[in-house]
């Protein structure tokens, strides 16, 4: 029997035992492995009060003092990489190697990058003919509410905490109720790094109770949220009567466009990764692929062969390319879309309903699913329009460049897209017309935090990335001096 961890809220630098709990499951075996606080308004009030008390102290520290603590946090995360990767894998179901290679290093980078950026920030100034000068200042705002999802627990939570505290704000975080253990471990490292009490607070619990209490709190003037589009709409409705500053990173239904001038053997390994990495549970996964009709059949054969070779298995095994999905409910939802695709006229080439999954006995109750590839769906079918957020990729042909662009843009989402071509003119022509926040050409998930990141249409409001984070986490002030 596995020992069950009991998570505590982290408020004002203290770990506070809870009186009500929610179960947290290890998706790899389908068993409860942790109890997390079922927090509500009371705990949020305490956390906001602590963050509010800490704000004048933290915001008056110099950038180099803040950077020093943030670099220490990064060092500690790096020192604990193995343990954090194992925990995140147990929390979320992803392979341990993936957490080691991507999630935890990115958490380290988030702190180092923003720690460094605040040492190089420059303010603008102008000189007027009337004998006056203007200069701008970026002022930290106060207590931020940071609400994050379960799919990349540390990567995304630290992508909010790092810029928030770098610019002098304090915060109350609400990680997903399904992946709270890893965030709790980070809280322990914050204490070790010497972050002053109350600068970062973590309240665990579910969204409708703990999350909305943060969004509605009058002393939280800004909210940064990453999650589903439907939740984003609710948050917007809760925040708007109080005129809060909002950043919403929401869902996606990303398209990859493959033109006939590419070398399929060269591009398919990355394309398959872009469909199925993290069990397809990345907002940036390419869940729709449009392929030029002259190479369609060849592409499907090669893609399916490659997808079929992606081993699904225990997250602890280095050979497992995919681990378990986050929860039983989510697994059923994703499988439900595959069943729906058949009703919608789709043909399943590999994966769910076609191939057998083979797991060691210990993992038989885990939430596993094979990479599934579907063709034959119409552009308006639900499987082509809705975010499935699992290991399911739908492939369809296109005729011309115009047709490819129209198909890619024909969804309500606008997060990201990939263009696979060696034609320079087409690279620019197509990329510029895709209605998404990020276009990758001949690559996927290559990110520079200097660049804006975010979604168009139903994929969100606002951008993250260094300049955009300054805009979001500070208020610009202009001072005009006549001389």
Active site residues: 249, 283
- Taking CB under 6 A as the criterion, the residue among 37, 93, 149, 465 binding ligand NDP is 149
Restricting to residues 43-82, name those near ligand NDP by CB under 6 A: none
Which is nearer to ligand NDP, 108 or 223 (by Cβ)?
Answer: 223
CB of 229 to ligand NDP, least distance (A): 6
Residue 147 touching ligand NDP (CB under 6 A): yes
Q: Work out the burial of residue 45: count CB atoms within 10 Å of its CB; fewer than 13 is exposed, 13-18 middle, 19 or more buried.
A: middle
CA 290 from centre of chain: 24
Helix-then-strand count for the chain, H and E: 16, 23
CB of 8 to ligand NDP, least distance (A): 16
Token pair, residue 151, equals 């799919």
Which is nearer to ligand NDP, 150 or 299 (by Cβ)?
Answer: 150
Q: Which stretch binds ligand NDP (CB under 6 A): 57-65, 76-84, 221-229, 391-399?
A: 221-229
Contacts of 417 (CB under 8 A, 6+ apart): 254, 255, 256, 257, 286, 408, 431, 434, 436, 438, 439, 440
Site string for ligand NDP, 283-312 (x = CB under 6 A): x-----------------------------
Residue with the closest Cβ to ligand NDP?
A: 207
Check: CB of residue 417 under 8 Å from CB of residue 408. Answer: yes
- Name the strands in the sheet holding 125-128, side by side, starting at the edge strand that comes first in the sequence: 125-128, 132-140, 474-482
Which is nearer to ligand NDP, 7 or 262 (by Cβ)?
Answer: 7
Which is nearer to ligand NDP, 99 or 147 (by Cβ)?
Answer: 147
Which is nearer to ligand NDP, 214 or 404 (by Cβ)?
Answer: 214
Which is nearer to ligand NDP, 67 or 99 (by Cβ)?
Answer: 99
Token pair, residue 237, equals 């409705």
Give DSSP secondary structure letters for 388-440.
--SSEEEEEEE-SHHHHHHHHT-SSEESEEEEE-S-HHHHHHHHHHS-SSEEE
Q: Map tokens 């409708």 to a residue.
A: 208
- Taking CB under 6 A as the criterion, the residue among 8, 78, 206, 219 binding ligand NDP is 206
Give DSSP secondary structure letters for 235-255.
HHHHHGGGT-EEEEE-----E
Restricting to residues 236-275, name those near ligand NDP by CB under 6 A: 249-252
Site string for ligand NDP, 413-432 (x = CB under 6 A): --x-----------------
Restricting to residues 379-408, name those near ligand NDP by CB under 6 A: 387, 389
Check: CB of residue 108 under 8 Å from CB of residue 458. Answer: no
* Chain residues that interact with ligand NDP, rule: CB under 6 A: 147-151, 156, 174, 176-177, 206-208, 211-212, 215, 226-228, 231, 234-235, 249-252, 283, 387, 389, 415, 455, 459-460
């Amino acid at each position: 029997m596995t020992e069950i961890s009991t998570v505590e809220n982290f408020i004002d630098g203290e770990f506070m035992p809870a009186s009500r709990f929610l179960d947290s499951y290890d998706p790899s075996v389908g068993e409860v492995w942790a109890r997390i606080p079922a927090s509500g308004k009371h705990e949020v009030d305490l956390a906001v009060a602590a963050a509010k008390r800490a704000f004048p102290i933290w915001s008056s520290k110099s950038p180099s003092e803040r950077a020093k603590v943030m670099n220490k946090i990064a060092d500690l995360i790096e020192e604990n990489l193995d343990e954090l990767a194992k925990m995140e894998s147990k929390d979320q179901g992803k392979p341990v190697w993936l957490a080691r290679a991507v999630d935890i290093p990115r958490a380290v980078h988030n702190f180092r990058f923003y720690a460094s950026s605040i040492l190089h920030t420059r303010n603008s100034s102008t000189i007027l003919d009337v004998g006056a000068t203007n200069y701008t200042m970026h002022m930290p705002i106060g207590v931020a509410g940071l609400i994050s999802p379960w799919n990349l627990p540390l990567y995304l939570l630290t992508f909010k905490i790092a810029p928030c505290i770098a610019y002098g704000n304090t915060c109350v975080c609400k990680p997903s109720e399904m992946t709270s253990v890893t965030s709790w471990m980070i809280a322990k490292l914050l204490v070790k790094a010497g972050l002053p009490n109350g600068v970062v607070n973590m309240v665990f619990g579910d969204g409708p109770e703990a999350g909305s209490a943060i969004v509605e709190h009058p002393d939280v003037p800004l909210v940064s949220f990453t999650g589903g589009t439907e939740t984003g709409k609710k948050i917007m409705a809760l925040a708007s009567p109080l005129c809060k500053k909002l950043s919403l990173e929401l869902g996606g239904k990303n398209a990859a466009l493959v033109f006939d001038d590419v070398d399929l053997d060269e591009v398919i390994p990355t394309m398959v990764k872009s469909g199925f990495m993290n069990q397809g549970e990345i907002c940036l996964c390419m869940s729709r692929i449009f392929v030029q009709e002259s190479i369609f059949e060849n592409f499907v054969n090669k893609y399916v062969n490659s997808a079929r070779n992606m081993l699904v298995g225990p997250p602890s095994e280095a050979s497992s390319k995919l681990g378990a999905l986050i929860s039983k409910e989510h697994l059923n939802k994703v499988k439900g879309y595959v069943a729906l695709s058949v009703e919608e006229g789709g043909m399943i080439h590999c994966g769910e309903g076609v191939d057998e999954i083979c797991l060691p006995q210990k993992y038989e109750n885990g939430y596993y699913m094979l990479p599934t590839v579907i063709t034959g769906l119409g552009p308006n079918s639900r499987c082509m329009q809705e975010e499935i957020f699992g290991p399911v990729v739908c492939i369809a042909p296109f005729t011309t460049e115009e047709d490819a662009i129209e198909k890619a843009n024909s969804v309500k989402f606008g997060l990201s897209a990939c263009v696979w071509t060696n034609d320079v003119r087409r690279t620019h022509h197509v990329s510029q017309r895709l209605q998404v926040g990020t276009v990758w050409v001949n690559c996927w998930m290559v990110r520079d935090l200097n660049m804006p990141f975010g979604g168009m249409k139903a994929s969100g409001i606002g951008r993250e990335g260094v300049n955009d984070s300054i805009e979001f986490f500070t208020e610009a002030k202009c001072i005009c001096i006549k001389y």
